[in-house]
Amino acid sequence: MARADEIEAHYAGGALRSRTRPGTDELHVRGREATLELAALAELREGERVLDVGAGLGGPARTLAERYGVRVVGVDLTAAFVEAARELTRKVGLDDRIEFVHADALALPFPDDSFDVAWTQHAAMNVPDKAGLYAELHRVVRPGGRLAVYDVVAGAGGEPEYPLPWASRRELSFLVSAEELRRLLEGAGFRVGAVRDVSDSGRAWSQARAAEEAGPAFANLGRALEDGRLELVQLVAATDGADG
């Protein structure tokens, strides 16, 4: 099985089975709470056009459209996610403000300067070509626009144990440190501004989730956040032409 197929199967296997449960449509640590934190950090404004890369089941896109009045295009490499996201969005009556597209984040089907904000949460861990990813995001964000990121990064404590929520084994996970993430973003043309370490709150959430879930993925994540093998960061970066 190809690596992309393995990643798709890893996510779709559990996430799609639980998509009707309240609170399970945001597939990142701390769910909606973290989405709202990142939106505040990014200072989203009504009417802005947002690209959600790695949109999953569409939970964050729906949160942003409903709470902030933005228009969202969500992209995901997993076709089953795109189908489910469209279905759920129609059911809550937000399909006039949100569109979902089956696409590769390394080859986005949009013209240059199409969006005010690019947004990604817990997606880059499965992308080996991070330089290509951030270059493509920079291409589609207009001058003066922003990139909002919430991701798991490598800490100084060594290799985490697998499985983890985004990867069943090490070969499917592509982590960089917070310092390397900054270098990659700057190399793509972004200027990194606000940065927030949210590892502590993520650790508490992961440990609570581990008590509810069968399997070791969330327990491994909680331990790795506790001993510094993994960290959680939220950040906002700007393209040339932005204020500040």
* Residue 172, token pair as written in the block: 């499917």
pTM assigned to the model: 0.89
Contact 173/181 with Cβ under 8 angstroms? Answer: no
Cβ atoms within 10 Å of 208's Cβ, excluding its own: 12
Q: Which one, of 37, 42, 40, 35, lies nearest residue 239 by Cα?
A: 42
pLDDT per residue as tens, the chain (244 positions): 334 454 445 445 444 444 444 456 888 999 899 999 999 999 999 999 999 999 999 999 999 999 999 999 999 999 989 999 999 999 999 999 999 999 999 999 999 999 999 999 999 999 999 999 999 999 999 999 999 999 999 999 899 999 999 999 999 999 999 999 999 999 999 999 989 999 999 999 998 888 887 679 999 999 999 999 999 999 999 998 744 4
Q: How far is CA 98 from CA 51, 124, 164, in A?
A: 10, 22, 30
136 φ/ψ angles, rounded to the nearest 5 degrees: -70, -40
Instruction: Report d(CA 28, CA 165) in Å as an integer.
Output: 9
